[in-house]
């Protein structure tokens, strides 16, 4: 089942599950897990090591994924712009990590954004 862009929930995995697109949901979870492992110890970059993956959603399809990240520590937050630059530089390596963890012919393109700031 293919959803139109306006019908696709952006960050609600449960809504994806209800929509019947369980293969895409499972794929996004695999990518989320692979990126979480990569950030937690393999990147060799202190700033990227401070990131946690909040969600991975198709943007607009499984060939292009939008990864929402947030900082693990709320006390010491690195410069967001510098963090995005480092993410951009590490995208090739991150795609290699994803490719090793999934079983697809093509590794998806990755785009990154920060989680919305929550009050309190």
Residue extents of the structural domains in the chain: 5-114
Which tokens hold the place of 76? 């010491």
Q: What pLDDT score was predicted for residue 14?
A: 57
Does the predicted model carry a pTM greater than 0.75?
yes
The pLDDT tens digits along the chain (120 residues) read 344 444 444 555 555 555 558 888 999 999 999 999 999 877 677 888 889 999 999 998 889 999 999 998 877 778 888 999 999 999 999 999 999 998 888 999 999 999 887 665
pLDDT of residue 44: 76
CATH number of 5-114: 3.30.300.20
CA dist list (Å): 100 to 53, 56, 79, 86, 91: 18, 17, 30, 21, 14
Rg (CA), the chain: 14
The confidence score (pLDDT) of residue 95 equals 95
Place of tokens 């393109």: 109
């Amino acid at each position: 089942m293919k959803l139109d862009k306006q019908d696709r929930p952006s960050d609600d995995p449960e809504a994806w599950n209800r929509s019947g697109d369980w293969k895409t949901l499972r794929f996004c979870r695999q990518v989320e897990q692979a990126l979480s492992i990569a950030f937690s110890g393999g990147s060799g970059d202190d700033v990227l090591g401070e990131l946690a993956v909040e969600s991975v959603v198709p943007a607009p399809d499984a060939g292009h994924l939008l990864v929402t990240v947030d900082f693990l520590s709320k006390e010491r937050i690195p410069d967001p712009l510098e963090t995005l630059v480092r993410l951009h530089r590490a995208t090739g390596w991150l795609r290699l990590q994803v490719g090793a963890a999934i079983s697809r012919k093509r590794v998806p393109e990755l785009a990154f954004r920060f989680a919305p700031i929550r009050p309190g």
